[in-house]
Copies of this chain bind each other. A is one copy, B any other.
Amino acid sequence: MVKYVVNNASNLTMTADQLSNIFSALADPTRRAILARLALGETSVNELAAPFEMSLPAVTKHLKVLQRAGLISQSRQAQSRPCKLEAKPLQEVATFLAQYQQFWEQRLDQLDSYLLSLNLKENE
């Protein structure tokens, strides 16, 4: 009987694998909105927080989650800590998706040929 080793972290405070961190980070709408803002360009925590009806510490926590996933980085500019979107984790998601791309493209193809067959019948 084969057992998959699903997570190789050996210590008890299990550090989730990177892909899990990335997907967890993306699983929150506030964080996705923050990323969408950052796609427009680097900006401060205050400006990132402004649109949301939550406290600044809550936003800081979201940024920590995004940082743990490698999705953003922060620098220093006077008192401000501007945040920047980082591309690499998104590429990892793309790589993950690629495993399945064939699968769902195939299914689309099946749909295509089904629609095509309907079409052919119509024109008979």
Interfacial residues, chain A to chain B (CB-CB below 8 A) = 1-4, 6-7, 16-17, 19-20, 23-24, 26-30, 32-33, 35-36, 39, 50-53, 85, 87-88, 90-91, 93-94, 96-97, 99-101, 103-104, 107-108
**Is the pair A27, B36 in contact by a Cβ cutoff of 8 Å?**
no
The count of identical subunits is 2
28 contacts between A and B (CB under 8 A): A1-B50, A1-B51, A3-B51, A4-B52, A6-B29, A6-B30, A6-B33, A7-B29, A16-B29, A17-B29, A20-B28, A20-B29, A23-B23, A23-B24, A23-B26, A24-B24, A24-B27, A27-B27, A32-B96, A36-B99, A39-B99, A39-B103, A87-B104, A87-B107, A87-B108, A90-B97, A90-B103, A97-B97
